[in-house]
């Protein structure tokens, strides 16, 4: 969850190398879904509902 306007492709590009390193080093899969704070609170898509319920902060 990010403040302000979110451009998902740019946010993914910024963190993909870190995510890949964690995946390879620890054998865990981390999925990222860059979303604005407002959209996270307001939108009730199945994905965001699931993230609110089961997602963890890293």
- What's the whole-number average pLDDT of the chain? 93
pLDDT at 58: 73
Give 6-20 pLDDT, tens digit per residue: 999 999 999 999 999
* 34: nearest Cα among 56, 57, 3, 12: 12
Which one-letter DSSP state was computed for residue 52? H
Give 3-54 pLDDT, tens digit per residue: 999 999 999 999 999 999 999 999 999 888 999 999 999 999 999 999 999 9
pLDDT at 31: 87
């Amino acid at each position: 969850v990010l403040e302000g306007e979110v451009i998902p492709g740019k946010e993914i590009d910024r963190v993909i190398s870190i995510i890949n390193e964690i995946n390879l080093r620890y054998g865990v899969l981390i999925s990222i879904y860059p979303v604005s704070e407002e959209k996270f609170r307001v939108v009730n898509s199945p994905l965001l509902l699931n993230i609110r319920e089961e997602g963890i902060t890293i």
